[in-house]
Homo-oligomer: A and B are copies of this chain.
Amino acid sequence: MRRSERIAAVAKMLIDRPSCVISLSEFGERFGAAKSTISEDLSIIRDVFSQMHLGKIETLTGAAGGVRYIPFLWDHAIVETVDEICKDLADPQRILAGGFLYMSDITSSPTLMTRVGEIFATRFAQVEPDVVVTVETRGIPIAMMTARAFNVPLAIVRRTSRVTEGTVVTMNYVSGSAKRIETMSLSRRALQPDQRVLIIDDFMKAGGSARGLVDLVGELHAQVVGIGVLVETEVPEHKLVPEYESLVVLEQVDDQARRVLVRPSKWVQSLAQSGQA
């Protein structure tokens, strides 16, 4: 097998399993090549990925050593994706009666949400989550793609407790905006004590759901290390969770004037303004 052929196959194996460590022996056996040859292949892939901002190839030494592909988006790619989402959300056709905005097609778009998952994986790379937690329904695809980028499990909090979830911890909480009492439950099996939890959701208004998720994770003795949402509303300014990251800020949905005002979040704007983008 020629080098260029082997490189195509090695790249495929790495990209197919984001953040999974693959040992040099596994590559070696698969391609009938010496470890030193594979090492050279990997270094070519690493260099070109780094040069073209296609993600990181990371080498881990030691007994459990090997190499893995980490989705890591360059600032420019993040800004571009968020701009695209903003433009799409601003379409007045999305306005629903009562000043709501239709966005289910965006939150379940495989291409876009793969990208958003990689954005959250880039943003929260440093907190090294063990598990991604979300609450049904619309946030599931985003949370799934984030969990995929990190190669960690996804735990889905349910609004109603289901017999197929086994023993669950159920919590009542007051929704931040509507002041309604809501219920959340999570299977005891889905979360281990002391696990580092990244909370991912599609939408935050007052932050009641996020607050509920934080409390629920606490009840299971795990630890929230980050909160990421795709879209937050500008009002209310103060959310029920102190720290979180959003990608898009929804300023206003004007039902009368048929106008949607939406902008990239402060974090995304800071990336756009930094030299790199």
Residues of chain A having any CB pair with chain B under 8 Å: 1-9, 11-13, 15-17, 20, 30, 41, 44-45, 47-49, 52, 54-55, 96, 98, 100-105, 108-111, 113-114, 136-138, 140-141, 144-145, 147-148, 151-156, 158, 163-166, 187, 189-190
Contacts and interface: CB of A to CB of B under 8 A. Distances in A.
A218 B105 CA distance: 20
A57 B144 CA distance: 26
A190 B103 CA distance: 10
Contact of A155 (B108, B153, B187): B108
Given A54-B12, A156-B104, A111 B7 contact: no
A102 B155 CA distance: 13
A163 B97 CA distance: 8
10 contacts: A2-B44, A3-B4, A4-B7, A4-B44, A5-B48, A6-B48, A12-B15, A102-B187, A108-B147, A109-B153
A166 B100 CA distance: 8
Given A3-B4, A104-B187, A140-B141, 14 more contacts: A4-B41, A4-B44, A8-B49, A12-B15, A15-B15, A100-B164, A102-B189, A103-B164, A108-B156, A110-B144, A110-B154, A137-B156, A137-B158, A141-B154
A151 B11 CA distance: 21
A22 to B, nearest CB: 12
Contacts of A158: 137
Contacts of A49: 8-9, 12
Given A17-B111, A136-B136, A164 B96 contact: yes
A47 B140 contact: no
Nearest to A31: B52
A190 B151 CA distance: 30
Nearest to A1: B48
A54 B104 contact: no
Contacts of A9: 48-49, 52, 54
A232 to B, nearest CB: 15
Given A102-B189, A137-B137, A144-B144, A110 B151 contact: yes
A54 B31 CA distance: 13
A182 to B, nearest CB: 13
A192 B164 CA distance: 33
A114 B148 contact: yes
Which of A6, A15, A141 has most B Cβ within 10 Å? A141
Nearest to A114: B148
Which of A3, A6, A111 has most B Cβ within 10 Å? A111
A165 B37 CA distance: 54
